Structure 1
Amino acid sequence: MIDEDELLLCIECAKDIRLKKLIKRINKKGLCSCCENNEFIIDVDSNEFIQIIKALIRYHYSEWDYNEHWGGNGYGSLFYKSDNIFLNKGNFKDEDVYDELINRIECLEVYEDYDKGVSIFAGYDDGQQNPLLQSIKSDLDYSIKEIEYKLKSENYFKFEDQITQMLSEYSDCSKIKVKKKSEFYRARIGVENKKRSLFEGGFEGDLIFVPYSNSQIGAPPPLIAGIGRLNRAGVSYLYSATDKYTAISEIRPHPGDVVSIGKFIVNKELLIFDLTESQFLNFFQSDESLDKFGKLNTFTELMQKVIPPLERHAYNITQLIADCIRKLNFDGILFPSSVGNGENLVVFNPELMSYTYDEAEVVEIRDVSYEYFQRKWKKDISEIE
């Protein structure tokens, strides 16, 4: 039965990482109305849930995706899509509970005061339709994108002061501390050595591998450091990940590759500039806050943008962002992985982290999957005006 007065959603029934992080931040446990498990929960009638659900709609979707006057099927339909990105519908034990939850979402206030809450429709001004709302994810800050374009023909240091000033506006809310002894992972294709074991009588056994370790799997010395997402050629930063899967994904191995994995320990408390999804929780409460989120979100989107190996010149903007964050006296940057499920920590001084043989291992890649979408194309490009 559905409790008409209280409907609780747990962290496992939430799918969007930002909603999950909000539920974890609230830090309240109880019986989930959806899966009936005892987990971290949020009351769906609370202001936190109401505003973040509307903010997530705004983040992921443009208004023409759901506005019924412009070809959409209503924002409630987004929760019934096969690729629903908000909730784990499969976790719900009773479909009626899911329907009730979406019904409550569909009854939310869609127009809010600019500084009081989140609106999901642009509405009208003096009888004229305002421009439809564009998804926050795709509405990147023009001034930053302009600098990205100019970096194709102009030196990066011309824009250092401008980018540093933008980043400094978010220094306080983006400042986090990574505790001493925190653990992160790195991966490298290949191994230090391998040898086949022998049984009595000369029969061959399994291959035994020795993984890369210490400097072999750590940051390369400046002399051989190539171009990276955050470092320029000849500059050595230590890239690491919050989990092994992400560490492996970041090196983009092929099926059949043998990969060494190593763990690194933080030597002292680090001051890190946080560009992960957690930042969304500082800005989801109102339209005014979401507008302020624009520049910071642009930095995050640029950090996790997938860049093909042949287009590494596109790293000019992320290298500039890293330079400016370092100038603000941070030890490194935390940002979402573009290929894994976790996050990447890049430390400017590799000596701030040390290798440990704990959890060292060798794995063989069995399969790599791809997601794709169709781009616009023409048989003859000369037809384009």
Structure 2
Amino acid sequence: MPIQTLHWRNNNNLKSIFAGKTFNAMPKITKFFELKAAIMGQDLLENDAAVSICIDCARHDSLKRTIQADCIPGTCGVCCRDDVTVRNPDNVEPMVMLCRALIRFYWEEFEYNSHFGGDNLLCLFNDEQNPVLNPVFPHTYWDELDHLLGDPPYPDWDKGISIYAGFLDGHRMMNRAIAGSQPPEISDLRKRLDSSNFAALLAELDALFDPFVDELDVIIPKDEIWFRARKGVSAEFHRYDGSFGGEIVRQPHIGNDIGPSPIPGNGRLNREGFPVLYLGTTAYTALAEIRPHPGHYVSVGGFRILEDLKVADFGADISRFAQNEVRLEMYGIVHAFDRMMSTPVTPDDTVRYLITQLLAEVLKARGYDGVQFRSSVSDGKNLCIFEPSKARFENGHSAVNYVKSLVYEAPEVPSISVPIAGDYKLDR
């Protein structure tokens, strides 16, 4: 293991003992306490518990599952309770690497690196809205938890995940949050698509996905019902009940009328003139994906999957890629495409679909039936089937919905009129 300097900011006795010394950084917190005991010449193991993280303090579903996978009764460094269900302290590395991956996913490095003006790593969790961990309180095991999540700071590239970018040619680098950034390989391909031959770049994108694309495989089983929506209705009727009353009833679009257009324009995963079938896991997902306005009536219909479909799922769980930097880079590529597919573009900006259309061609050539990706406007998922005939309209699932209102959550964020010294333009 790499040699690292150990720091305990809140323990002055340990500071004086460890000052200037280096030791083999050990990922298991039990080793940390053994080291304390050996140097101080006393058996601290009787008084100090090996801390981990409990299921109750984990907010992210992936983190909860990782703790549950190997858990025992123990001490939680977050809530400081004893005899709670924690990740086994003798096997914390999968949990620690997942925590680091989630930090890298949600936060920019300047938010927690003091060299960029950030606060302590654990302070990230003070925000009640953070999606990873409950706030650390009380601070009984603050140093132990800080050590658990932060050391060693720079594991080997293929051995673990670092939350810090470190140095390159003497310059301090900074990690961008994976959730909102784009890998340089994808940025380069997008720029070149504007001027390069579409087919010429297929091999490059295929090579980029080759090391891990098989890990995205999922099967959409035969006979599952998925949903599709279309603005408007087929017809309206006044239903007369024999009195002065009655009601307006609406007939939804059904069959081919709610199916894919035979001559489509450019779409997320289809080029102009090449029909595909876009579906959602729920009726609400399908409705929300077509972005109707208040006052619109929307037809919704069900489609039955006619055979088992092999699709690439770009909503993959980050825990599957949280072992080391190499794997996390792969996840960055997967998530970048998931975000590009789920984010809508304006009708005059469909050139942004070129990169996802290129992806569709790569996956078709590899024998995939379609692509699954998350919805940015609901909790559901979207499915694009490359060959529309592999699903058919199913009676009994149709309805008409009236869009009463929309709610936008748009908090103000830091902004400038003109950049000043110290403002560095980022490549999105």
Give the TM-score taking structure 2 as reference length: 0.73
Unaligned runs of 5+ in 2: 1-48, 79-84, 419-428
Provide the rounded CA distance (Å) in 2 between the counterparts of 1:342 and 1:302: 16
**Residue identity matched to 1:106:** D
- The residue that corresponds to 1:256 in the other structure is 295
- Does residue 57 (structure 1) correspond to residue 103 (structure 2)? The answer is yes
- Does residue 331 (structure 1) correspond to residue 378 (structure 2)? The answer is no
User: 1:42-81 to 2 correspondence within 5 Å?
Assistant: 43=87, 46-81=92-127
- The residue that corresponds to 1:37 in the other structure is none
- Does residue 303 (structure 1) correspond to residue 341 (structure 2)? The answer is yes
- The residue that corresponds to 2:81 in the other structure is none
- CA contact under 8 A between 1:119 and 1:287: conserved in structure 2? yes
- Shift in CA distance, 349/19, structure 1 to aligned 2, threshold 3 Å: farther
Specify which of 136, 139, 162 is matched with residue 204 of structure 2.
162
- Does residue 340 (structure 1) correspond to residue 378 (structure 2)? The answer is yes
Q: Deviations over 1:45-98 (max 9, x none)?
A: 5433322111100112121111123211222222222532325x6xxxxx8879
- Does residue 211 (structure 1) correspond to residue 255 (structure 2)? The answer is no
- The residue that corresponds to 2:37 in the other structure is none
CA RMSD of aligned residues (A): 3.4
Higher radius of gyration, 1 or 2: 2
3-state DSSP class of the match of 2:148?
coil
- Shift in CA distance, 135/105, structure 1 to aligned 2, threshold 3 Å: farther
- Does residue 191 (structure 1) correspond to residue 230 (structure 2)? The answer is no
- CA contact under 8 A between 2:106 and 2:178: conserved in structure 1? yes
Identity %: 28
**Residue identity matched to 1:274:** D
Per the TM alignment, residue 164 of structure 1 is displaced from its structure 2 partner at its CA by 2.1
Per the TM alignment, residue 271 of structure 1 is displaced from its structure 2 partner at its CA by 0.9
- Does residue 106 (structure 1) correspond to residue 146 (structure 2)? The answer is yes
Larger RCO: Structure 1 or Structure 2 (Cα < 8 Å, ≥ 6 residues apart)? Answer: 1
Per the TM alignment, residue 377 of structure 1 is displaced from its structure 2 partner at its CA by 6.2
Provide the rounded CA distance (Å) in 2 between the counterparts of 1:6 and 1:106: 11
- The residue that corresponds to 1:382 in the other structure is none
User: 1:233-248 to 2 correspondence within 5 Å?
Assistant: 233-248=272-287
- Shift in CA distance, 4/196, structure 1 to aligned 2, threshold 3 Å: farther
- Does residue 152 (structure 1) correspond to residue 194 (structure 2)? The answer is yes
- CA contact under 8 A between 2:231 and 2:292: conserved in structure 1? yes
- CA contact under 8 A between 1:196 and 1:205: conserved in structure 2? yes
Per the TM alignment, residue 207 of structure 1 is displaced from its structure 2 partner at its CA by 1.9
Per the TM alignment, residue 332 of structure 1 is displaced from its structure 2 partner at its CA by 0.3
Provide the rounded CA distance (Å) in 1 between the counterparts of 2:284 and 2:124: 30
- CA contact under 8 A between 2:370 and 2:384: conserved in structure 1? yes
Q: Deviations over 1:150-209 (max 9, x none)?
A: 2223331221221222233322211221111222111111112221222223x2322222
Provide the rounded CA distance (Å) in 1 between the counterparts of 2:59 and 2:284: 19
Greater CA deviation, 129-138 or 47-56?
Answer: 129-138
Give the TM-score taking structure 1 as reference length: 0.80
Unaligned runs of 5+ in 1: 35-40, 90-94, 380-385
Q: Deviations over 1:325-374 (max 9, x none)?
A: 11111000011123222211100011111222233221111111224455
- The residue that corresponds to 1:266 in the other structure is 305
- The residue that corresponds to 2:222 in the other structure is 180
Q: Deviations over 1:200-247 (max 9, x none)?
A: 23x2322222221121111122xx312211111111100011222221
- CA contact under 8 A between 2:305 and 2:390: conserved in structure 1? yes
Provide the rounded CA distance (Å) in 2 between the counterparts of 1:169 and 1:189: 41
- Shift in CA distance, 345/27, structure 1 to aligned 2, threshold 3 Å: farther
- The residue that corresponds to 1:352 in the other structure is 390
Provide the rounded CA distance (Å) in 2 between the counterparts of 1:105 and 1:307: 43
- Does residue 133 (structure 1) correspond to residue 180 (structure 2)? The answer is no
- The residue that corresponds to 2:163 in the other structure is 120
- CA contact under 8 A between 1:79 and 1:102: conserved in structure 2? no
